[in-house]
Amino acid sequence: MAHIWAVQITFIGHATLLLEIGGTRILTDPNFESRLGFLLPRVTAPGLAIDKLGRLDALLLTHAHADHLSFKSLDLLPREIPLFAPPVIAEWLARKGYRHVVPLAPGEQVAIGDRGLRLHAASATHRGHRYGFDRWRSAANMYLMETDDESVFFAGDTAMTDSTHALVERVLWSAQRQLDVALLPIGWAPRWKEESFRKGHLTCDDALALFGRLHARAMMPYHWGTFRHVTASAYDAIDRLRASLREFPERERVHVIEPGESLTVPPAGTP
């Protein structure tokens, strides 16, 4: 009989998560830097030091923004494992010498390791280019990781649209399966900026609405508590999410964990 694993997520900080799914270990959007540029310092140390990660089977990159793509961090991580990224970002990284990069376009899937993990990609609604002039590098991915028994959706950065759940619908719902864990970013912007912010990001209420739409067994928020931003503190988003959860009917299924903590989601049907 096949072994059924629990899903474990360790929150390292911002969008850097260590995922253990079906015995396969994946690191998302690695960023262990002390600041973003000159103005945005890190306010919380990484929850797990880069030299304490242990074995990794793959790295995931969603887009090129500096808070998600850290060249300094990539330089400290192993290069004998695949680094998955949107094709235009993969091409850029390959030119920079990251020969282990593997392009994964929306609609494509690939197997990772030898334990039956499948990685699926879809387009995120987010302009992810690095600089103001490089709009051709704006591609952003969302990812779904699944085995025959476990599944995790990692949204990267995205807005709430009519099709944000489509990847889960296509891969899982069509097979009469339920999503186990939704990993969703949360953000906050002042009222004067909220309309434009929501064109490429999830507010706390958007994230809860998407969680409901995904019909996941559990949700874990990220993208908070790490970097100070120009128009928001590192904790504005999580403070508002906690306030919203007081009236949220499924609040027991939303798991807020601090950097360095881990969430374990047992297989469906486990007491």
Contact 15, 62 (CB under 8 A): yes
What is the model's pLDDT at position 115?
A: 87
- The reply to whether 115 falls in a domain is yes
- The reply to whether 228 falls in a domain is yes
Nearest Cα to Cα of residue 97 among 79, 81, 85, 70: 79
- The reply to whether 144 falls in a domain is yes
Structure tokens given for 211? 């969680």
Looking at the structure of the chain, the number of domains it has is 1
| Pairing between β-strand 101-103 and β-strand 83-85 as defined by DSSP bridges | parallel
For the chain, the residue count is: 271
- The reply to whether 203 falls in a domain is yes
- The reply to whether 117 falls in a domain is yes
- The reply to whether 267 falls in a domain is no
Structure tokens given for 235? 């904790």
In whole angstroms, what is the distance from residue 132 CA to residue 153 CA? 29
- Percentage of the residues of the chain whose pLDDT score is greater than 90: 87
Residue 56 sits in a domain of what CATH number?
Answer: 3.60.15.10
Residue type, 222: Y
Which domain covers residue 121, as residue numbers? Answer: 7-262
Nearest Cα to Cα of residue 177 among 143, 228, 215, 139: 215
pLDDT tens digits along 74-110: 999 999 999 999 999 999 999 999 999 999 999 999 9
Structure tokens given for 69? 């793509």
pLDDT tens digits along 138-189: 999 999 999 999 999 999 999 999 999 999 999 999 999 999 999 999 999 9
- The reply to whether 1 falls in a domain is no
- The reply to whether 268 falls in a domain is no
